[in-house]
Structure formats: C-alpha cells, structure tokens
Amino acid sequence: MYFYIKSHYDNPESVPVMIILGSGGHTAEMLSYVSVLTPKYQPRTYVIAATDSISEQKVFNLEDKSDIEFSIKRIRRAREVKQSYVSSIFTTLMSFLSAFPIFVSCRPKLILCNGPGTCIPVCFVALLLQMLRLHSTLIIFVESICRTKTLSLSGKILYHTHLVDVIVQWPELKTKYPKSIYLGLLS
C-alpha cells in the first residue's frame, strides 16, 4: 500500500495525513499500514471516537518511539454498536459537525481509513470541501481483510461516491466492485 500512496505524492514536500481509527481490529490494521509510511507523511492527525481509549494508547505506542509530529483528535461516534440505522442519522450528523473543525484545522492532503463508521463524517467533510474547491484531499479507504464477500457499510457508502479510492484485499471483492483497487493482502 505504501507504493500506492507514494505514486500520488512524488514531490519531496511533506504530506499532512489524517488517519481514522476504529476500535479493536480496525485500529490494528490501520496502524500496520501507517507503520510503513516514511517521515514525509506528517504531521499525522489520528481521529478516534470520543469513547475509544484503547486506540489512543496504541497510537502512543507506535508514535512515541519516532520523531513524527502527531496529534490525536476525538469526535463523536457516528453510530454505536447495534444502534438502529434510523437513530444513527442524528448521531452521524452530530459526528459530522464535530469532524468539521478538526478537518479544517488539520487540512490533510491524505486521509487513510478502514471500516469504522467514524470515517464517514470525516470523509464527507473532505468531499464537501473538495466539491466547493476549498481543499483537495486524497481519500484512501482500505476495506478490512475480514471482508471477503461484501464491502462493509462504510465501504459501500464511500465506494458509491466514486470519489474515494477503495482498496480491497480479496479478488472476489474486486470482481463484485469493479471500481475498487485490488492490491492483494495488506495485513
């Protein structure tokens, strides 16, 4: 995946990156991708749900050993586990509103995200500013290695915008979602 990202940024200047973390396996997968990025990809802004303390500790474990400039920002969860889709409309809107000032203050050139619903409001802020021609951001959504037959809900939403690079890790998903990018197993 590093070479895919590098192909978009051949110039030597730094690339501000926003990394959106979920909980558990999503965080582990995303941090494995981040760990291979060169120091060019900084400052790094990690966005985590307000209730996620485990991901915060994992970020410190990764970044405290390096000279990388990083920060951790918290936003409201877009949707809690087992929350109904209808009631999640309100919480997603609140998450979008909390994501806006974070995004504007960081102005990332690159967003890296995978499965968590927390990525949807952040990505939509980026897409809105892109449509208004106020800021351009490359968004890369890496579908979890666990998704072998269909995209996650976040993956489906972002795939259908046609404005996000959706990377899948299984050839069956590439067949089912032809506009996705297949790079093989990344985790």
Task: Write the pLDDT tens digit of every residue in 96-129.
Answer: 899 999 999 999 999 999 877 788 999 999 999 9
What is the model's pTM?
A: 0.89
pLDDT band at 84 (very low <50, low <70, confident <90, very high): confident
pLDDT value at residue 113: 94
Q: Which value, to the nearest 10 degrees, does the dihedral of the CA atoms of residues 113, 121, 170, 165 take?
A: -80
Sign of CA dihedral 34, 40, 41, 45: positive
What residue type is assigned to position 178 of the chain?
A: P
Q: Per-residue pLDDT tens for 53-77?
A: 899 999 999 998 889 999 999 998 7
Average pLDDT in the 133-147 region?
90
What secondary structure letter does DSSP report for 170?
S
b/e per residue 129-158 (b: at least 16 CB within 10 A) = beeeeeeebbbbbbbbeebeeebbebbebb
Strand 44-49 and strand 110-113: the pairing is unpaired
List domains and CATH numbers for the chain: 15-182 (3.40.50.2000)
Q: Which of 161 and 2 is assigned the larger pLDDT? A: 161
- CA-to-CA dists, residue 87 to 78, 84, 118, angstroms: 10, 6, 15
Dist. CA 21–CA 119, nearest whole Å = 8
Q: Per-residue pLDDT tens for 4-49?
A: 776 776 676 899 999 999 877 778 899 999 999 999 999 999 999 8
pLDDT value at residue 153: 87
Dist. CA 36–CA 41, nearest whole Å = 10
Give the burial class of 85: count Cβ atoms within 10 A of its Cβ; 0-12 exposed, 13-18 middle, 19 or more buried.
exposed
pLDDT value at residue 104: 94
pLDDT value at residue 1: 60
